[in-house]
Every structure is written in C-alpha cells, then in structure tokens.
Amino acid sequence: MSTTLADLLSLQVYTYLLVVCRIGGAFFLMPGFGESFVSPRTRLVMALLASLAMTPSQFDAIAAVPPPGVLAGQVGAELIIGLAIGLWLRLFLYALFICGAVIAQQLALNHIFNGVAENIGTSALSNLLMLTGVTLFFALNLHGSTLMALAENLNDMPLGQGTVPIELLTRRILDGVGSTFATGIQLALPFLVVGTLLYAALGFINKAMPQLMVFFIAAPAITSIGLILFLIALPMILTQWAGGLDAALNNF
C-alpha cells in the first residue's frame, strides 16, 4: 500500500510532537532557558524552534502513527525523559547555589536579602553566583553545546519507545546530585579553610579574655576579609564550574 501525502504529513507532525515533548521537558528545567525570570511564552517558543530544527533527523525513527493508547504512552515517556534530562542539567547550576550558601555562611551574610534567581530564599552571594553562571552559560556558548547534546540524545534514546529507562535516568540523576554537592563544597573550600582558622583563633582569644566581646569586634573584619577573598576567587570558581559543565556536556 502506497503512502499518501496525508499519511506522510501526519507521521511528520507526530514525530515533531514527540521531539517537542522531550526537548520541551528539558527546556522547562535546564539552565538558562528554564529560569523563573524567563516567561513561559518565551520558553515555549524557544522549545518549539529548537524542536523544529531537530525533527528532520528523526523522521525515520517513527514508522507509523500508533493508536491513541500507545500514542499517550509514548508522549508521556518522552515528557518524563525530557524532564529528567532538564533536571540533570539544572543540578550543575545548583552547585553554584551550594557554593554561595557555604561562602555566605562563613562570612555571616546568609541572612541578608532574599532570592532573585529562584523562588526560594537565598543569600546574596548565591544569587550573584547563579546569575553569573546563567550569564556565562550563554556567553561561553554552553547553550549551543547543550542543544547539540540534546540532539545527540535523540539518537542515543530513539523516539517512540513508549518506555522510560528508569534505571539509567535514576543513576544519572543520583550521580548528578552527589556531584552537585561535591562540586559546591570544593568551590567553597578556600572559604571553609580560612573561616575555620579564623573562628578557631577567635575561640582561643575569647578563652584567654572572656570579658572581651571578640566575635562582636571581629565580625566586620571577618566579613571584609571574606569579601576580598571572594573577589579574588570568583573568576576561578566560575572558570572551574564552566569547565565542568562543558566536560559533562561533551560526555553526555
């Protein structure tokens, strides 16, 4: 039986629908495109355009439009896979959030200001690091590397399987969570060392002179020294973070 033009168009539209489900799910959570200050309409348009560019390479992945029950299963599976990929990418940005929270805790700045980059209360340093990370995501063309990784994922995980590789996605997300905390602590390690030494020294001074309000007097000095160290370490923190994200995208 020959394939009519209507059947071919229906198949291409269905392939585009599956690509939109996976890429749109990733766009909903991934860094840069999935930020809360990006309007949902803008996010949707970008996801539709990216999916349109990736769809022609997937026309051979779907043989025919399945029945409604199978269609719903395939659409749901692609949405779950896309959201899992977006969550895995989002974890890299949260490494900067953890780094900023640890640094702010050491500098006694964790209670000033509220979140801007996210809808949760964060410290000013976490906001600064996360907003700078989003800026670098576009300035260093990491968004291009992310789109290429998503396009390669369409070949590694073919469309229309109707099943979710739960074991693979769970292992990748759990590894990403562990790597997020490890990276955040490693980036803030100089501040942990300096802060521990300073607070230990203040503890000894306070023991020797109990009448002197050591921590009250030393708090401005600790904050000043920490901010100077933060300005010095900021380029290295961001460089290491961007390099780690780029390496992860190359091995996606």
Residue with tokens 């290429």: 148
Q: What is the pLDDT of residue 23?
A: 92
CA 51 distance to own-chain centroid: 20
CA 86 distance to own-chain centroid: 7
What predicted TM-score, i.e. pTM, was given to this entire model?
A: 0.81
| Of 192, 182, 181, the residue nearest 102 (C-alpha) | 192
E strand or H helix that includes residue 192? helix 189-208
Report the interhelical angle of 189-208 vs 68-106 (nearest 10°).
40
Domain count, the chain: 1
Q: What is the pLDDT of residue 11?
A: 81
| Of 112, 140, 139, the residue nearest 125 (C-alpha) | 112
Give the whole-angstrom CA distance, residue 216 versus residue 133: 34
Give the whole-angstrom CA distance, residue 210 versus residue 197: 19
Q: What is the pLDDT of residue 49?
A: 92
Q: What is the pLDDT of residue 95?
A: 92
**Structural domain boundaries enclosing 142:** 5-250
Question: pLDDT in tens for each of the 252 residues of the chain?
Answer: 445 545 555 888 888 888 999 999 899 888 888 888 888 888 889 999 999 988 888 888 777 778 888 888 888 888 999 999 999 999 999 999 999 888 888 887 766 555 444 445 567 788 888 889 999 999 988 888 899 988 888 888 888 777 788 888 888 888 889 989 999 999 998 888 888 888 888 888 878 777 777 777 777 777 888 888 888 888 999 999 998 888 888 876
